[in-house]
Amino acid sequence: MSYLGRGLEQVDNISKLDNITFNGGTTYALTKDSAAFTPISSNAILISIDGVIQQGNFSVSGSNIVFNFSPTGSNTCDFIMHYGTGVAFTPADSSITKDKTNFVSTSSAAGLEVKGDGTTDGTLQLNCRVNSHGVKLKSPPHSAGQSYTLTLPSTAPSADKFIKTDGSGNLSFGTVASAPVSFFKVYSNTNTNSQSHGSNSFVDIISQAVTPSSSSSKFLVICSVGGVRASGTNTSVGIRLTSSISGGSSYDYNAINEAGYNNSNNMDSSQVGFTHFFTHSHSGNAITFTMKFQCTQNQGTAAVKVNGDQAEIVIVEFVSSDQW
């Protein structure tokens, strides 16, 4: 059987001390090669006097051996051996090699257990190659009451992976799902120049051009115009939103007819507003959104932004990689 950390052929912490010359006293200095030697305990000393191994009749104090009797000059010290650190007692620093630490796990017990001291939770530290710093793995606190096993992944890791668990402690490498890119941009324009019109053709009130951030962008268009007036019998103001894609199609959204009263008086609506959600395919090409108005009869007059009111168009662009 090998000693912990070394085989019998490598026991190099057994020291032969210098023989003692007795003089009738009880206390004698212990030396090795004439230098003071301090044993780890009296149990580490094996001494023979006159061919008799001594046991239980001496103690050690520092580098001295103290006998319970008084050896005289006629007694002979045959030898003094010291069985030191790393042999039968405390292993010397760095004396335990990897070949002697073959920890074996069983179905009911771990091969290595790192214990807490009653105050600090069990901690395993992995040092750098020069042992100047290290990384620690620490147990949950006692108050957590946790006992579980984490089993490392059965496959090798690859770039951009993370470790996940199946809820039973089995770990694996997972791929981070691409988060949906979702954001919005806002475009707006206002105009306060009053306009009037006497035919049923549409005339521009206000426009706003946008360049989509993505070919999948969708747009919420919010339009409002104040000072809307219709003058003349059976006359009303028609409001339309036109969406024109550069190099592509145009789409009309007839939003509202306003201020239509069957009389000849001027009839005003202080504010007209509407919203439209634009979902047509545009392939990322520029889009111009234009609010227009008309006089629904070829008689009378339609007017907008009367008395200093304004027209406004607000466009909210929604960008999402997976929402639409």
Q: What is the DSSP string of 177-224?
A: PPPP-EEEEEEEEEE---EEE-SSS-EEEEEEEE--SSTT-EEEEEEE
Domain end marker among 62, 83, 104: 83
β-strand partners of 272: 225
| Same-domain check for residues 234 and 281 | yes
One-letter identity of residue 279: T
| 50 and 30 in a common domain | yes
Q: Are residues 189 and 312 in the same domain?
A: yes
59: which 2 tokens? 């103690």
Mean pLDDT over residues 241-263, rounded?
Answer: 77
Residue 146, pLDDT score: 93
Co-location of 225 and 316 in the same domain: yes
Look at residues 83, 101, 129 and tell me which one is the last residue of a structural domain.
Answer: 83
Amino acid present at 113: E
Q: Which of 56-70, 100-114, 192-206 has the lowest mean pLDDT?
A: 100-114
pLDDT band at 5 (very low <50, low <70, confident <90, very high): very low
Question: Which residues form the domain of 63?
Answer: 8-83
Q: Do 173 and 190 fall within a single domain?
A: no
Split into its structural domains, the chain has a count of 3
The closest alpha carbon to 245, from 188, 285, 205, belongs to 285
- The answer on 19 and 39 residing in a single domain is yes
Per the model's pLDDT, the better-predicted residue between 83 and 222 turns out to be: 222
Q: Which residues pair with 228 in a beta bridge?
A: 269
Q: What is the CATH number of the domain that holds 21?
A: 2.60.320
Do 191 and 165 sit in the same domain of this protein? no
| Least confident window among 95-104, 123-132, 198-207, 259-268 | 259-268
pLDDT of 261 above 50: no
Residues whose CB is less than 8 angstroms from the CB of residue 1 and which lie 6 or more positions away in sequence, other chains included: none
Determine, yes or no, domain membership for 141. no
Residue that wins the pLDDT comparison between 164 and 237: 164
275-307 pLDDT per residue, tens: 999 988 898 899 999 999 988 876 788 888 888
pLDDT tier for residue 2 given thresholds of 50, 70 and 90: very low
Task: Please give the residue that has the higher pLDDT: either 68 or 270.
Answer: 68
13 and 87 Cβ atoms separated by less than 8 Å = yes
Q: Is residue 168 part of a domain?
A: yes
Which conformational region is residue 108 in: left (phi greater than 0), alpha (psi within -120 to 50 degrees), or beta? Answer: alpha
Q: Is the pLDDT of residue 87 over 60?
A: no
Q: Is residue 13 pLDDT above 80, yes or no?
A: no
Q: Decide which of 9 and 219 is more confident.
A: 219
For 250, the token pair is: 């145009």
Q: What is the pLDDT of residue 69?
A: 94
- Is 95 part of a structural domain of the chain? no
Same domain for 161 and 270, yes or no, is no
On whether both 173 and 265 belong to a single domain, the answer is: no
Q: Are 204 and 292 in contact (CB under 8 A)?
A: yes
Q: Which residue has the tokens 């006359």?
A: 235
Q: What is the mean pLDDT of the chain?
A: 84
- Residue 84 pLDDT > 80: no
For residue 302, list its beta bridge partners.
Answer: 197, 230
Looking only at the bridges linking them, the beta strands covering 182-191 and 14-17 are: unpaired
State the pTM of this model: 0.45
Mark residue 301 as left, alpha or beta (left: phi above 0; alpha: psi -120 to 50; beta: remaining). Answer: beta
CATH code, domain carrying 256: 2.60.120.760
